Amino acid sequence: LQGMALILLSAGFDTTANMLALGTFALLQNPEQLAALRADPALTDMAVEELLRYLTVAKQFLRTALEDVELGGQTVKAGTTIILSYNTANRDPERFADPHVLDLRRRDGGHLAFGHGIHQCLGQQLARVELRVALPALLNHFPTLRLAVPAEEVALRPETADIYGVKSLPVTWDV
């Protein structure tokens, strides 16, 4: 139990910290969505789910087929290893209306930010709680929070990083 708790807290730190920073960046880039969240705290749960879908920080995983399986009209033979791209799946236009748009009121849930099936993230509920508490706390404590540099100057982690996120997020606010 102690080992499991340690893994949940340590393995979940990098992903949740990056999700919080990246989610804040996305909200600051979408002022109408940020205003909607600030105006309606009841929107927080939906906002967290949409940010998880829109930003998927854990990008891809390798999986090996245990048996022949049909996937997207193709047969994946038993023993074949494939790469699952969660961030691409979460932007699938056949699954999500306007998938490249951040919409905190989106109702077509079912994202794969935490994986699926037996490979679903064990700490997903902890991550959700952390985001549901941290985002409103940050936004309420700093009501004038804004980017301190143009959005295109915010450095993102390289595409080769296991966890997607910002390297740093320069912000400012009125005192």
Residues 22-35 pLDDT 10s: 999 999 999 999 99
Non-local CB neighbours of 58 within 8 Å, separated by 6+ positions: 15, 86, 113, 115, 121, 162, 163, 164
**List of domains in the chain:** 2-172 (1.10.630.10)
The C-alpha atoms of residue 169 and residue 151 are separated, in whole angstroms, by 9
Q: So what's the pLDDT on residue 100?
A: 96
Residue-level pLDDT at 53: 95
Identify the pLDDT of residue 4.
76
CA 3 to chain centre: 26
Q: At residue 145, does pLDDT exceed 80?
A: yes
Name the residue among 38, 37, 26 with its Cα closest to residue 147.
Answer: 26
Is the alpha carbon torsion for 114, 117, 118, 124 positive or negative?
A: positive
> Residue 164: what pLDDT?
85
Listed ranges 7-11, 60-64, 125-129; the one with the highest mean pLDDT: 125-129
Predicted structure pTM score:
0.87
Mean pLDDT of 136-153: 96
Asked whether 62 and 86 are in contact (CB, 8 A), the reply is no
